[in-house]
Structure 1
Amino acid sequence: MPRHIVVLRSLLPGIWRVKLAMFRAATTHPANNNGERRELRAVLAEIGRCEHRAYQQLPSQPALWRRVVNKPEHYYFRSHAEVLWGKESMMMRMRSTEILRVAQLGSTTELDQGPAVTTSIFCYNPATMTPPRNPILIAGAGISSLLLARSLLRSSIPFLIFENDASLSFRAQGYRLRLSAEGLDAIESVLGPEAWQRFWDTCGKTGGGGFGTINARTGEKLPQAPPPAAVGGTKSVTEALTSRDGKVVGISRGDMRRLFMEGCEEFVHWSHRVTGYELTANGVHAIFADGSKSVEGSMLIAGEGIRSQVAKQLSGGKLKVYDTGARGIHGQARTTAFKGLGEGVWLLLDQTHPRGKVSVITNVRPGEMDDPSLNFGWTLVAEPGVVTPPNNDDSTIGIPAADVAKEITANWHPRLKPLFDEMVSSDAAFWKITCSTPAGVPEWENESRVTVIGDAAHSMTPAGGIGANTAVRDSALLGKLLAEAGGYKEGVTAAYEKDMRVYGSEAVQASYGMAKNQLGIEITENTKTL
């Protein structure tokens, strides 16, 4: 009987595709078919070089897959639709419109009995075996999306990420994030020992005098103010600044994304903006801005931030993000500019600016203060009307943003001025301060195939530094539930949303309450939404 092998020949950007090439192996007298065997060996070598993994690891069905994953030379084919290549429990999965016929369904055939090549083919019988799982689709490649992807990676659950940006460094990555005990616990639970250690080593740890407030005009250190009381029915959280080992732990958003992306790079599709979704009988398609659709996924997780169209579609418009009217500026300068502050987390407060209250928060870390090759960052926030981007364009970066920061801080104390006078002007960026519905995360009709994480679920002001820590808790919780279920399962999104609404709502309420006191913002029925 003729025997055949299907060979991966090409990989096109964005979508894995298969070209089918049929090679007839020897059926009798293998020694008389040396040329054919050499061709077959070359093909197998080509496959061996294709270490990329389109979706991930084989399904967790030991009885079915043991013979495939134990030997790299075993290849698995699904008839009529898809081709899988297994190597050391890794696999590629590609769609094909051609019909594959190899021996009989459910049978195993030796391709070549010669000493040089011994390869087995196993044919999948859709009538008797469970097909491979569709991937979980993730919209956005922010910190919550990437941490969720790492959780799925550890659990061998297939996934694909679709990100609007063209690369990881396509635009400014925002300010430094302070991590709470809850945030660190969530990240550690996902990454595993080795990856966690790399993450922990990258984080900055600040001790010194802890948190201090300085009068930006006089340069004097102010007594620590009591936490703001609850305002308008919202809650106030007095979260301890120190999160581990008596230290304040922080990391830049760019470093966090880079570390979370380790091992996930090949599953990220850049320049793909998700604008909605379409449910199918057995899954869901993500819909892109150009009208095209993704492969069918088992689920779609919306983690694309405050402008998530998936969140609006899923919630029927109940998930809203409000423009508070307040604006901020991110900036950074050489560490030498921070000598006048010393180690610690500092709030520079100007309550006498003619247009409204202004504050800057920065983290001066030991061990880095004397390294002039490094930069420390700062974040300026102000009441509505103080920070005004040129032409009201919040996406403006570089010198225009730097000039506005310098103008606002022009009359600050000389020991603080170097932070702005010596700033890296090209890195300065405006940002819009937004907040979800102050009452918390609303309820909507649950959809088992679609849910939301991070800012798409609960956007927060910078007050209290709560937003990022809440986002990674989403990733850890949803990842844990999916791992326990082995991927998509009815009830997973409902269980996740039930718990997320509790801590997410508390976080939104706290962030809004603090921002109302610190920035004078107020969200009413007339406040504009994004």
Structure 2
Amino acid sequence: MKVLVAGAGLGGLCLAHGLLRAGVDVRVLEREDGPHSRYQGFRIALNAHGLDALHACLPERLHALLAAVSGPMAGERRVVDQRLREVRRLGPADEGTATDRYVLRQLLLAGLADRVEFGRPVVGYTERADGTVEAHLGDGGSAVGDLLVGADGVGSAVRRRLLPRAEVVTLPGNAVLGRTPLTARFAALVPGFGTVVHGAAASMLLGRMEFRRPPRLAAAELAPDVRLPDTGSYLRWVVMPTEPLPAGPRPWEAVRTDLLARLDDWHPDLLDLVRQADVVNSAPLTARYAEPVPHWGGSRRVTLLGDAIHPMPPSGGQGANTALRDAALLARTLAAVQRGSAELPAAVEQYEQRMLEYGFVAVADSLRRLPDVTPAR
């Protein structure tokens, strides 16, 4: 059996590892020019589903490295005003393990050099009469397999072809994501799990990404063949203005200037947090989510996972975890096909039914957990 995966994000790479462990031939086709070609996001929370999926799919030799380059996500949650005066406490939280999206992606690329093809976007496909599927690539080429998995994100070309009426909604307003190197001064802003700042012009969410061990050094000791970036611990922050910032792509310096103008009466520590943000890893954010879709019926040689089918806002911390869960479930499903204990079309349909159920529950939960940007009274 040969599986084609469109997209080398977290879900697609996790799936590739799981398939290789099951002896399935897999080829990952990625639109980016290389593994370092764009901004990859920042801290994500790995809950039980996400961690279980990674442990099920990654080679066991990488489990210790995964633990070493993660960090805690537990402690008291507090709400403060723009001058850092405490308004209330929300109680303790424990959401598992924090990890950095870019570091995790580099770890997931380990051992897949001969399986991932960069600069080869899947732009469409044809289901062939012989029961195979042909993926059409942006460079004019093609690839043929027994199954095509669309793991190509919220703008998925595979989803547009498979489900042309599926609706992805852009949430109103905009936000700014930033990360600033963690110092003792900035660490004091988040003494526990996280801090919410409510001001008249904006709200801000703060959280730590504090690695247990520096990623590059941990890889050198625990898995010398794996190269991880020299990423330091940082404070992750998100600002949601009550009035939208100017739309359209702009240099970070212009975004930061507009943002600081909105926050001119905020505490100096918060202003400096924005001023000292990492230019490469700070950017405006547009949040989207998918409206639920029923199963499309019939047995196909094409399926979807992650943001390609159920994108959701980051408020619930479930997007990456749900994609990883999809990957592990699909890997188990296809392993049964590889062993001869299941038929491919029926097995894929069973995966889809389960994935659609929990995936859109996660979307609804993330929408319910969107923060209220109305200042506390």
- TM (norm. structure 1) is 0.62
**In structure 2, what is the equivalent of residue 307 of structure 1?**
155
**Identity in percent:** 25
Contact 1:327–1:433 (8 Å) recurs in 2: yes
User: 1:359 — aligned with what?
Assistant: 204
Q: 1:462 aligns with which of 295, 314, 329?
A: 314
Tell me the secondary structure at the aligned position of residue 105 of structure 2: helix
Instruction: Name which of 234, 238, 244 aligns with 1:386.
Output: 244
Q: Provide the secondary structure at the position in 1 that maps to 2:344.
A: coil
User: C-alpha distance in 2, partners of 1:419/1:158?
Assistant: 47
Q: CA RMSD in A?
A: 2.5
Q: 1:436 aligns with which of 290, 293, 312?
A: 290
Unaligned runs of 5+ in 1: 1-132, 227-239, 521-530
Distance 1:283 1:513 in 2: 41
Say which of 213, 230, 238 aligns to 2:78. Answer: 213
Shift of 1:315: 1.9
The one-letter amino acid of 2:14's match is L
8 Å CA contact 2:84, 2:197 repeated in 1 = no
Q: How many Å separate the matches in 1 of 2:200 and 2:294?
A: 38
Q: CA deviation at 1:412?
A: 1.8
Decide whether the 8 Å contact of 2:71 with 2:99 is kept in 1.
yes
The question of 1:278 aligning with 2:123 is answered no
- Residue equivalent to 2:89: 224
SS at match of 2:310: coil
In structure 2, relative to structure 1, the CA distance for the partners of 1:241 and 1:188 (3 Å cut) is farther
Give aligned pairs, total: 353
Matched ranges for 1:250-269 at <5 A:
250-269=98-117
For 1:475 and 1:366, the matched residues in 2 are separated by: 25
C-alpha change, 1:225 and 1:344, in structure 2 (3 Å) is: closer
Query: Who is 1:316 aligned against?
Result: 164
- One-letter amino acid matched to 1:283: T
Distance 1:194 1:366, change over 3 A: closer
Distance 1:162 1:194 in 2: 25
Q: How far 1:511 sits from its partner (Å)? A: 0.9
Residues 16-68 of structure 1: CA deviation (Å, up to 9, x unaligned): xxxxxxxxxxxxxxxxxxxxxxxxxxxxxxxxxxxxxxxxxxxxxxxxxxxxx
- Tell me whether 1:296 sits opposite 2:161 in the alignment: no
2-structure distance, mates of 1:278, 1:316: 15
User: Does the 8 Å CA contact 1:346/1:363 hold for their aligned counterparts?
Assistant: yes
Q: Which residue of 2 aligns with 1:42?
A: none
| Secondary structure of the corresponding residue to residue 41 of structure 2 | coil
Would the aligned equivalents of 2:99 and 2:209 in 1 still touch at CA under 8 Å?
Answer: no
Q: CA deviation at 1:503?
A: 0.7
Cα deviations by residue, 1:366-408 (Å, 9 ceiling, x for unpaired): 8689xxx83414231426743334xx22xx4532333344334
1:190 Cα shift?
A: 1.7
Equivalent position of 1:287 in the other structure: 136
The CA deviation at 1:350 is 2.2
Q: Secondary structure at the match of 1:386?
A: coil
Q: Higher relative contact order by CA 8 Å / sep ≥ 6: 1 or 2?
A: 2
Distance 1:144 1:314 in 2: 19
* Superposed counterparts of 1:87-126, under 5 Å: none
Greater percentage in helix: 2
Q: Give secondary structure in 2 for the equivalent of 1:448.
A: coil
Q: Give 2:218's aligned residue.
A: none
| 1:139–1:161 contact (8 Å) kept in structure 2 | yes
In structure 2, do the counterparts of structure 1 residues 333 and 498 end up closer, same or farther at CA, with 3 Å as the change threshold?
Answer: same
* Cα distance change on mapping 1:383 and 1:455 into 2, 3 Å: farther
| 2:232 paired residue among 325, 350, 374 | 374
Q: Are the aligned partners of 2:299 and 2:345 in contact in 1 as well (CA < 8 Å)?
A: no
The structural deviation recorded for 1:213 is 2.5
Matched, 1:398 2:243: no
- State the partner residue of 1:77: none
- Cα separation, partners in 2 of 1:282 and 1:177, compared to 1, 3 Å: same
| Match in the other structure for 2:278 | 424
| Residues 94 and 193, structure 2, Cα contact 8 Å, conserved in 1 | no
Instruction: Give 1:218 shift.
Output: 2.3
Partner in structure 2 of residue 166 of structure 1: 33
Aligned to 1:328: 175
Say whether the 8 Å CA contact 1:360–1:381 is kept in structure 2: yes
User: What is the TM-score normalised by the length of structure 2?
Assistant: 0.85
Displacement over 4 Å in runs of 4+: 366-369
Give, in whole Å, the separation in 2 of the partners of 1:402 and 1:446. 50
Matches of 1:447 and 1:383, distance apart in 2: 46
Assess, with a 3 A threshold, how the Cα gap between structure 1 residues 263 and 446 changes in structure 2: closer, same or farther. farther
